[in-house]
Structure 1
Amino acid sequence: MMTSKNLLELFTQTRSDSEKICQPLQTEDYVVQPIVDVSPPKWHLGHTTWFFEEFLLAPNFPGYQRFHEQYAYVFNSYYESIGKRVVRTDRGNLSRPSVQEVYEYRKHVTKLMQELISKHWNKDWNPVLEIGIHHEKQHQELLLTDIKYILGNNPLQPIYGAVSNEVLIENSEREFIEIKDGIYHIGHNSESFCYDNELPRHRVFLEPYAISSTLVTNGEWLEFMDDGGYSNTLLWHTEGWDWVKKNDIISPMYWFKNENGIWSQYLLSGSQAIDPKAAVTHISYYEAFAYAQWKGLRLPTEFEWEVAQSKINHGNRWEWTESAYLPYPNYQKPDGALGEYNGKFMVNQKVLRGSSIATPANHARLTYRNFFHAPLRWQFTSLRLAKSL
C-alpha cells in the first residue's frame, strides 16, 4: 500500500501530465467531438477533476464548497447512482464552461486535494485516491487518442508533435512460441494497484498452443488488402461484414492514398508513407479476426496472452484477443458508485491486452484488461496471431 506522501507525489504528477498532453492544442481543439466515442479534450480535463471533487473533496474536506454547482451534471460520465449527467453524445455541445474556466477548476481541485492529502488524510481513503489517479491516467490515454482522431479527421491534418514509437518496427525474427497444456494462474497477484476486473486470481486450463513473438506488419496487411481481404465475405463475422459494407471500410484507420497513389497514414507527427515493416495499427476486432481467418490462424485468448507475456515483445500496442469481456470467477463488484467503474461494462465487448505507447507511466500491468466494442479502432490497436497445437 502506498504512503500518503507517495500518493501525493503521484497525484501531483498525474494532474500535471494531463495538462502537458494538451499543451500543443489550440483553444478550438478543446471543444470538438467528431464522433460519440471521441470526447472533447476540455471534457476529459473537467471529468477527471470532477472525480476527485465528487469522491474525495465533497465528502471529506472540512467545509468544502463545490467550485460550481452544475459541474457535477456537466462532467459526470456514466455514474448513474450519483445523479443526472450530460449524455455522451452532447459533450461537444458544451461551449461553456470555457477552456480557461476548466483549467481554473482543475487548479482549484488540485490545490485542495493536495491540502487534503497532506493535512487531513485518512489512510482508509487510499483506495479511492488510487482509483482516481489511475482513472485520470486512463483518460490521458484517451486524451491522446481522441486528439489524434480530432486532428486526423481535419482536412488540414494538423501536426500535434512527436510521439515515440508511433511507427513501431520490431527488430526481431518472428517465431511461434509453443506453450504446453496445463493449469495456469491468471489475475493480479501483488499488493500494487489493480482494477477490480483483474481479480480474483484464479486458475484456468489451457490446451497446447503457439503464439507469435511479433505483431502483424503493415506489409502483411497490404497483402491481405491486395488479396481482397476487405471484399471476401467468408473471412468476416456477419456483424463485421455489415460494418465493412455500411462504412465502406477498405483499410486500417488513418490510411489514405496520397497524390501519387501510395498508401500513407496520418500520424501525430505528420503524414507519411506506410512503412511495410511497421506494426499495423488502428484496426478493429472485426479486422483482426478477418485477417487471422485469412492466414488460417486465430487470435489468442486473453488467458493465452497472459501466460505467454514473458516470452513475447509487448507494451507498444493494445492487442485484440478472442476473449469476451466477462467477470473472473467469484468476481465481486465494489459497493456504491465505484462499483459502476468496471462491472457494468462486462457485456458485448472484447478484451485487449498489452498496453500501448499512449498508456501513461506507472499505469500498465501484465494483468491489465482493457476492453472495447468490436468496431472501435481509434486506440493504438494491433494483433498477434496464435494457433492451436
Structure 2
Amino acid sequence: MPQLSPLAGDTLAQRYRRVRQQTVQLCAGLTAEDMMVQSMPDASPAKWHLAHTTWFFEQFVLARDPRYRPRNRAWNYLFNSYYQSVGPMHARPQRGLLSRPTLEEVLAYRRHVDQALDSMLARGDETASAAVIELGLQHEQQHQELLLTDIQHAFWNNPLLPAYLQAAALPAATTSAPLQYLPGAEGVVEIGHAGEGFAFDNETPRHRALLAPHALANRLVTNEEYAAFVHDGGYREPSLWLSDGWATVQNEGWQRPLYWRPDLASAFSLSGVQALDPNAPVCHLSYFEADAFARWAGARLPTEAEWEAAAAALPVQGNLLDGMPRPPQAAHGTGLLQMYGDAWEWTASPYVAYPGFRPLPGALGEYNGKFMCGQWVLRGGSCATPLGHVRASYRNFFPSQARWQFVGLRLAKDR
C-alpha cells in the first residue's frame, strides 16, 4: 500500500481537513447551475467531482466501520467512477443529467462523511486505513485539477465566455530564458518510486533504464514559438503529423491550440479571454500537436526516463496550485527550468507497466493499471496541480487527442 507523505508537522486529520476544504473553496465562485454542466464526455460536472471524491472515502474507508451509516445507498451507483468490482455505475457521458441530488444535498453528503472520518481519526482508528485515507487525499487532489480544467472547458462552451476568476495583474512585459539544450544523463539510471513518501502503484517498482546520449531543452515551448509553427502552416502539412494525428486534425478542424482565438494573440482562460503572453508556455495541446511541433522544430519529445532522470535532482517547486490557480508563467533563470508546474509535459513514452509492476490489491487495483493501453505519459504537473501532490516519479497519462488539460511540451534531441 502507499506510504504517507503529510506536510511537515501535519497530522493525518489536519491534512484531511485541509485537502477537503480546498476542494470546496475551489467551487466558492461557482453557482449551482455552473456546477451541473458537463461540456463533453471526458469532463465531469463540478458537483459530481464533489460527490465522487466523497464517495471514495465512504466506499474504501468508512464502509469498513460497522458503526458507519451511509447517507444514501443509491448514491453508490451515481458516484462510482469506474470501479467495476465495486458495482455498476451511472454512464460517464450522462453525469451532467444528474440534477438530483441537489448541490445542497451533495455538500451535506460531504459534511456527513467528513464528520465520520473526523470521528474515526479522533478515536485513533485510522491505523489500518491510514494508507487508504492518504490515497483518497491524493485522489481528491487529482480531482481538484480536473475540476478546474473541466469548468474552464464548460465556460469556454458558453457563448458569454464567463470567467472563473478575476485576472491577476500582469507585469507590463515579460521575457523568457533563451532556449538552450542541456546534456542529460546517459547510461544506466534508476527511475520509479524510491520508497520514501507517497506514490501511486503505477510509479513502482523502481527499476533500471538505459539512456542514450541526449539533451533536454532548458524550458517549455512558449506561445510565441508555437505561434510560429501555426503561421508556418503546421496544421496544413501532413508530413509533420502521425497518421492518426493528421486524421484528427482533418476530422476536428484543428487550426491552433484549444482556447486560442483566431487572432493567435488571445486565448480563453480561467479568467476569460485574455491576451496571450508570448513568453509563457503554450498549453492545452494534444500529444499529436506536441509531436508535430517537435518534428517541425527538428527535435523530439523526451522519454519519461530522460525526464525523470533530470528532474530527480531538482527541488519540487514551481507554479503549482496553492490557493487559486495562476496562469502559466514565463521561464526565468538558468539550468533546467519549469520541470514542475506551469504545464504538464507530453513524453514520447506510452503509458505501460514498469517491469515487475503489481497493482494494489482488491478494487483499488483498478485505480491505474487497467488504463495502461493507448495512452501517453505526462510529467511535471501544471499550474492546476496542487502543491505537494507531484514528484519526480509521478506518472500522469492521457490519450493522444486530449487537449483540455494544462499540457505543453519540452523539446529533446539526440546527441
TM interval, shorter chain, is over 0.9
CA-CA distance at 1:120 after TM superposition: 4.5
- Counterpart of 1:253 in structure 2: which amino acid? L
Task: Name the residue aligned to 1:360.
Answer: 386
1:25 partnered with 2:30: yes
Compared with structure 1, are the counterparts of its residues 349 and 164 closer, same or farther at alpha carbon in structure 2 (3 Å cutoff)?
A: farther
CA-CA distance at 1:124 after TM superposition: 2.3
Task: Name the residue aligned to 2:210.
Answer: 205
Once the two structures are superposed, what CA deviation does each residue of 1:178-219 show, in whole Å capped at 9, x if it has no partner?
Answer: 124211010111421110111111110100001100111111
Alpha-carbon separation, structure 2, partners of 1:76 and 1:165: 40
Alpha-carbon separation, structure 1, partners of 2:55 and 2:391: 26
Compared with structure 1, are the counterparts of its residues 340 and 163 closer, same or farther at alpha carbon in structure 2 (3 Å cutoff)?
A: farther
Residue 9 of structure 1 is aligned with which of 14, 27, 33?
14
Compared with structure 1, are the counterparts of its residues 208 and 170 closer, same or farther at alpha carbon in structure 2 (3 Å cutoff)?
A: farther
Alpha-carbon separation, structure 2, partners of 1:40 and 1:219: 33
Task: Name the residue aligned to 1:63.
Answer: 67
Any conservation in 1 of the 2:290–2:409 contact (CA below 8 Å)? yes
1:291 partnered with 2:293: yes
1:140 partnered with 2:164: no
Residue 271 of structure 2 is aligned with which of 258, 269, 272?
269
Compared with structure 1, are the counterparts of its residues 195 and 230 closer, same or farther at alpha carbon in structure 2 (3 Å cutoff)?
A: same
Alpha-carbon separation, structure 2, partners of 1:223 and 1:279: 14
Alignment of 1:171-210 (within 5 A): 171-210=176-215
Alpha-carbon separation, structure 2, partners of 1:180 and 1:84: 47
Alignment of 1:83-232 (within 5 A): 83-162=87-166, 171-232=176-237
CA-CA distance at 1:3 after TM superposition: 9.5
CA-CA distance at 1:366 after TM superposition: 1.1
Once the two structures are superposed, what CA deviation does each residue of 1:150-195 show, in whole Å capped at 9, x if it has no partner?
Answer: 1122111111114779999673232100124211010111421110
Q: Secondary structure at the match of 2:235?
A: coil
Q: Percent identity?
A: 45
Alpha-carbon separation, structure 2, partners of 1:320 and 1:204: 19
Query: Structure 1 stretches (4+) deviating beyond 6 angstroms?
Result: 163-170
Once the two structures are superposed, what CA deviation does each residue of 1:42-72 show, in whole Å capped at 9, x if it has no partner?
Answer: 0000000000001111112x42111001110
Alpha-carbon separation, structure 1, partners of 2:166 and 2:114: 28
CA-CA distance at 1:321 after TM superposition: 0.3
Compared with structure 1, are the counterparts of its residues 241 and 45 closer, same or farther at alpha carbon in structure 2 (3 Å cutoff)?
A: same
Any conservation in 2 of the 1:166–1:357 contact (CA below 8 Å)? no
Alpha-carbon separation, structure 2, partners of 1:362 and 1:375: 28
Q: TM-score, normalised by structure 1?
A: 0.95
Compared with structure 1, are the counterparts of its residues 141 and 164 closer, same or farther at alpha carbon in structure 2 (3 Å cutoff)?
A: farther
Alpha-carbon separation, structure 1, partners of 2:160 and 2:69: 44
Which deviates further from its counterpart, 270-279 or 220-229?
270-279
Q: Secondary structure at the match of 1:244?
A: helix
Task: Name the residue aligned to 2:402.
Answer: 376
Alpha-carbon separation, structure 2, partners of 1:189 and 1:164: 38
CA-CA distance at 1:147 after TM superposition: 0.9
Task: Name the residue aligned to 1:312.
Answer: 336
- RMSD of the TM alignment (CA)? 1.9
Alpha-carbon separation, structure 2, partners of 1:320 and 1:152: 23
Alpha-carbon separation, structure 2, partners of 1:39 and 1:165: 30
Any conservation in 1 of the 2:380–2:392 contact (CA below 8 Å)? yes
Alpha-carbon separation, structure 2, partners of 1:165 and 1:341: 39
Task: Name the residue aligned to 1:328.
Answer: 354
Alpha-carbon separation, structure 2, partners of 1:150 and 1:266: 11
Q: TM-score, normalised by structure 2?
A: 0.89
Tell me, which stretches of 5 or more residues in structure 1 are unaligned? Answer: none
Q: Secondary structure at the match of 1:230?
A: helix
Any conservation in 2 of the 1:31–1:95 contact (CA below 8 Å)? yes
CA-CA distance at 1:26 after TM superposition: 1.2
Q: Secondary structure at the match of 2:261?
A: strand
Task: Name the residue aligned to 2:330.
Answer: none
Compared with structure 1, are the counterparts of its residues 349 and 329 closer, same or farther at alpha carbon in structure 2 (3 Å cutoff)?
A: same
